Amino acid sequence: MNILLIGPPGSGKGTQANLLCQKYGLINMSIGDMLRNEVQGKTSIGLKVESCMKDGKLVSDAIVIEIIKENLARKDICKGFVLDGFPRNKDQASELEAILKKLKREINLILVFDVDELELKRRLINRIYCKSCKATSSKEDSLVDFNKKNKIKCRSCGSESGFFSRSDDNHHAISERLKQDKILSNFVKEFYNKKYPEKTFYIDASKHPSSVNLEVESAVFSISNLKKN
């Protein structure tokens, strides 16, 4: 099963992608993670996109498509993948169709995450990550516990290595990212609504992750029955 997640930064796509991959044995393909790995590894691509990402600007289509092509051709994608953060515009959506056609693959399910902009800003400015397992959490209501020595501990993996915030999770970059996403995402939604209306499901992602996951699983169930018929 190949699943596409569409939604703005902070809508919880990463959390649901992890849950889907764990349950169904899918490969998690987050374009954001791929780009950050390039930056951390100081690769030629990473050096090109680092300043762009810090300012909350979108990376060029050519670079993103190059990374997607390489990853979709991986041999370990036997059960399928969850693609998070791509496509971001209509041209990328068309390019993805061409790439998948060459690989004789198809998108089976499109999940569109909807969240109010004020809620997105609140989530993003408070977002933190475990240094050990990279679990996403929040400064407000997080996967953080305190041990007997009052040391911060990740509730997800138990690590005491601490937490970090992304460099682009600041007020300026967040506003810029949401502004660009709002403009471009409408074209992507329109593209998939017209091309695959029976595969496209809208998710109320303003709810608690467990409630969101129930909607996601309901969509997976619906598409599984559609494939059987």
Find the Cα–Cα–Cα–Cα dihedral 146, 174, 182, 94, rounded to 10°.
-90
Q: Spell out where 43-141 has E strands.
A: 81-84, 109-114, 127-130, 136-138
Active site residue 194: no
Out of 122, 166, 195, 207, the active site residue is 166
SS3 201: strand
Task: Please report, for residues 13, 16, 21, 144, 188, the alpha-carbon distance to residue 154 in angstroms, rounded to integers and kept in the order given.
Answer: 20, 19, 21, 5, 36
Is 123 labeled as catalytic in the residue annotation? no
Catalytic site residue from 36, 88, 123, 199: 88
Q: What is the DSSP track for 157-177? A: T---S-EE--TT-SHHHHHHH
Residue type, 97: E
166 is catalytic: yes
SS3 52: helix
Q: What are residue 204's DSSP bridge partners? A: 114
> From the candidates 123, 127, 153, 199, which is the catalytic residue?
127
| Residue 13 falls in the annotated catalytic set | yes
Concerning whether 177 is annotated as a catalytic residue, the answer is yes
Q: How many helices (H) and strands (E) does the chain have?
A: 8, 10
Active site (catalytic) residues:
13, 88, 127, 166, 177
